Chains A and B, each alone.
Chain A
Amino acid sequence: MEGSHLQRQMACMRKSLFDQGFLDEQFIQLEELQDDANPNFVEEVVTLFYRDSTRLILNVDQALEKVPLDFTKLDNYMHQFKGSSSSIGAAKVKNECTQFKECCKAGNAEGCMRSFQQVKKEHAALRKKLEAYFQLARQAGTGETASRSK
């Protein structure tokens, strides 16, 4: 009873992450790679993403303090960031990275500063949601993720 209630909650949470555009199809690709032999694959990839992207955020923050801005360097960092975001299906984060890259291409320093704030905002928001989701998954005691529903 308790179990299925938690599983329903988990399915609801998962659906809203997709409906609200936080996650896209690529996240489902990760879920499909999870199996009995690798029951925590999705969480492991997401954890790796956050570890790696936190490092990138630090690099970008430092680079944004330099005068004048090195747009090539910034674009390179963002290329990595966008790539990782895309690979885990972090749709909103990926979109903000795209905005940032546009500002780099245009040599728009103020635009870079502003769009990076958005990147960090979406990055943090998704992290909170996914942490809550994985915690619920653990409580629900499922080895598999909720079934695919769109």
Chain B
Amino acid sequence: MKSIANEDLIGSKSMPHGNDVCQGPSSHSLNKKVTALVVEDNVVNQMIHKRLLSNLGIETQVVENGKEAVDLHHSGAVFDLILMDMEMPIMNGPEATRVLRAMGVRSKIVGVTAYSGDYEKRVFMDAGLDDYYEKPLTMAKLVSLLQELVDNN
């Protein structure tokens, strides 16, 4: 991660339609590709989040609940970024986050939630999130949290 310079975020790949507010890390200039895991049960959101990340040159995997995310980590997978939905069947976001942190996972875990209530937010953050964003996720929000990822490394 130290090999990713700040200027790599202002990549050569500009957004479609010349929107110069949103620019993302170029996979050409990264020495190591940023990897992400999308943990989300809604198929429409899976498709959108995957596209958002891929457009920024990020290698993305998708699982549909917290348990699958945990199993993936048990088998040795490591990600720079985990986008964690809150409500999922079998194992929800807060529970999966707690388990991953207990396993020693230090990836940036960002909650993505439809709920805007303070209580739900607090419970989710307390589970071990680095940050959370309200759905739907947008390119601007994603670039913002990726900038933090780069800054903190």
Chain A interface residues toward B at CB < 8 A: 26, 29-35, 38, 41, 44-45, 48-49, 52, 79-80, 82-84, 86-88, 144, 147-148
Contacts and interface: CB of A to CB of B under 8 A. Distances in A.
A49 B42 CA distance: 10
Nearest to A36: B16
A52 B43 contact: yes
B42 A33 contact: no
A33 B114 contact: no
Nearest to A87: B136
B88 to A, nearest CB: 11
Nearest to A25: B138
Given A32-B17, A148-B17, A83 B51 contact: no
B44 A33 contact: no
A33 B22 CA distance: 11
B15 A32 contact: yes
How would you classify the secondary structure of chain A's contact residues: helix, strand, loop or mixed?
helix
B17 A45 contact: no
Interface residues of B, number: 20
Given A29-B139, A35-B16, A144-B16, A82 B114 contact: yes
Nearest to A80: B42
A144 B16 CA distance: 9
A26 B138 CA distance: 8
Interface string B109-142: 0000010000000000000000000011011000
Contacts of B22: 32
Contact of B44 (A29, A31, A32, A84): A84
Contacts of B45: 83-84, 87
Contacts of B44: 45, 48-49, 52, 83-84, 87-88
Indicate the member of A31, A35, A44, A148 with the most B CB atoms within 10 Å.
Answer: A35
